[in-house]
Amino acid sequence: MVPNFLKNPSLAAKILYAMILGLIFGFIFKGAYSTWGPVLAPFGTLFIRLLKMCIIPLVFFSIVAGISTMSDLSRVKKVGLIFGSYWFIASLIAAGCGAVWALIIRPGVGITIPGDIVPPQVKTDVIGNLLAWVPDNIGKMFTDPNYIQIIVFSIFVGISTAVIGKTDAGKALARVFAGANEMTIKIIEIVMKYAPIGVFCLIADVAGTLGKEVLTGLGLMLITQYIAYASVFLIVYPIALKLIARVGVVQFYRNIYPAMLVAFSTCSSGATLPVTMKVNKERAGVPEDIVNMCAPPGATINMHAVCAEMAIYVIFAAQIYKMDMSFGQIIFTMFLAVVAAAGTAAVPGGGIIMSAIMLGTMGLPLTIVPWIAGIYRLIDMPNTMLNVTDDSVGMVMTASLIGELDRELYNSKTKRMKEGLAT
């Protein structure tokens, strides 16, 4: 009898299997690389080109659509200011955790990729870099891709759409951007169906030209991810809950664990959203209107695990290409990771495409993207669980700071949720 995970594997499982098979194939037939390498290489190159094809529309439409949803927060400025401040500060801290652990563990050191040119250093002129973020030629920005300029322009478009959100034009624009974002996600889904083939070819090529050092580097990168997530989960959140929200930490995790389990199993913040809203209303004591205002945009832009992983990817790649990053470049990477996380689709594997955007923005090759895709299922499960948890932390903190948290419900040990989700 064939197990279900082999009979009907998910896309993530197919990519993982493709990576394993590619590694095995590359190692076994390493001596004949000159024969099979040129045959497989075009299929791997095609996957990289398909990923690049998705970058610009994903950056533009996801950020615009995501910011447009924040128009609901403007109805209650106090709630919006608190939750928005939490989102930015906590996201930056999460990105910092990823950067710090990547610098400590140094997962990319020792990996050498032959044939690739060391990418140019990012300019250290801080003022010049900041000014260069603002596009002076919209057409050139798209045709000669400058991703940070596209991000800045997308933010302006999103904010402007949110400001006019109640007008007929604003509503029409919001629908257009939301539809375009859904279309882009569908394109990505189509591209990702080819991912197992692309990953197999690229990983086989890596295994045929390199060796065990790649596996060691991937293992260290995975460990770096887990340690960064654990730092946020076990240190940052408890401090915020205890000192700012003034609530019990253990009780908090008891209250929201159903959402955490769903997030871990589905790898989708969007799919977990109904459960996230339910546990915060019925178990964590957050008022319904605060949950309704904060949870939907939070599932889209408030992704602490993505902030951490994006910073790790950049530093991992920089270490591989022996690019010495200055303190200013690391800080820039952290800010960019926050913006990138806000633009990441709340669907399984959304971070794979965003990793390509981060690397491209920092002037780094996309060589490691297939590596990331190959192990992303192992990253995505704890990643999504952390992303869903951070939304709940933010809502509990917001309700507590404005004095509207139902502490009796929050601390109840006997409560039961509807629809069978029991303590």
Query: In the structure, what pLDDT confidence band is assigned to residue 73 with cuts at 50, 70 and 90?
Result: very low
CA-CA-CA-CA torsion for 164, 169, 173, 175, nearest 10 degrees?
110
366 vs 341: CA distance, rounded Å: 18
Do 175 and 65 contact (CB within 8 A), yes or no?
Answer: no
pLDDT at 266: 67
pLDDT at 309: 92
Do 346 and 268 contact (CB within 8 A), yes or no?
Answer: yes
In this prediction, residues 113-133 reach a mean pLDDT of 56
Q: Report which listed range, 56-70, 107-121, 317-331, is most confident.
A: 317-331
pLDDT at 250: 93
The answer, yes or no, to whether residue 15 has pLDDT greater than 70, is: yes
- CA 29 vs CA 34, 150, 200, 382: distances in Å: 10, 43, 14, 35
The answer, yes or no, to whether residue 105 has pLDDT greater than 60, is: yes
Q: What is the pLDDT of residues 40-58, one digit of tens each?
A: 888 888 887 887 787 788 7
In sequence order, the 6+-apart residues with CB closer than 8 A to the CB of 171 are 165
Alpha carbon 34 to its chain's center: 37
The residue among 265 and 230 whose pLDDT is bigger is 230
The residue among 72 and 154 whose pLDDT is bigger is 154
112 vs 123: CA distance, rounded Å: 24
Q: Domains, the chain, ranges and CATH?
A: 19-420 (1.10.3860)
Mean pLDDT score of the chain: 80
- CA 267 vs CA 153, 252, 346, 349, 384: distances in Å: 30, 21, 9, 8, 5
pLDDT at 253: 93
Q: What is the pLDDT of residues 254-299, one digit of tens each?
A: 999 888 887 886 677 766 777 888 889 888 999 887 887 778 777 7
394 vs 89: CA distance, rounded Å: 11
The residue among 212 and 285 whose pLDDT is bigger is 285
Least confident of 45-54, 73-82, 333-342, 353-362: 73-82
pLDDT at 188: 76
pLDDT at 393: 95
The answer, yes or no, to whether residue 356 has pLDDT greater than 70, is: yes
pLDDT at 281: 87
pLDDT at 265: 64
pLDDT at 373: 79
The residue among 393 and 60 whose pLDDT is bigger is 393
- CA 186 vs CA 54, 68, 179, 310: distances in Å: 10, 20, 11, 23
The answer, yes or no, to whether residue 239 has pLDDT greater than 90, is: yes
Q: What is the pLDDT of residues 300-348, one digit of tens each?
A: 778 899 999 999 999 999 998 888 888 888 998 998 888 888 767 655 5
Query: In the structure, what pLDDT confidence band is assigned to residue 130 with cuts at 50, 70 and 90?
Result: low
pLDDT at 12: 62
Alpha carbon 343 to its chain's center: 8
| Percentage of the chain exceeding pLDDT 90 | 21
Query: In the structure, what pLDDT confidence band is assigned to residue 145 with cuts at 50, 70 and 90?
Result: confident
The answer, yes or no, to whether residue 75 has pLDDT greater than 50, is: no
- Torsion-angle region of residue 13: left (phi > 0), alpha (psi -120 to 50) or beta? alpha
CA-CA-CA-CA torsion for 219, 224, 230, 231, nearest 10 degrees?
170
Do 306 and 344 contact (CB within 8 A), yes or no?
Answer: yes
Q: Report which listed range, 1-10, 19-28, 367-376, is most confident.
A: 19-28
The residue among 209 and 129 whose pLDDT is bigger is 209
Place of tokens 């991703």: 147
Buried b (16+ CB within 10 A) or exposed e, 328-346: ebbbbbbbbbbbbbbbbbb
Nearest to 122 by CA among 313, 337, 362, 366: 362
Least confident of 9-23, 37-51, 395-409: 9-23
Do 307 and 338 contact (CB within 8 A), yes or no?
Answer: yes
Q: Which amino acid is it at 115?
A: G
395 vs 393: CA distance, rounded Å: 6
The residue among 214 and 75 whose pLDDT is bigger is 214
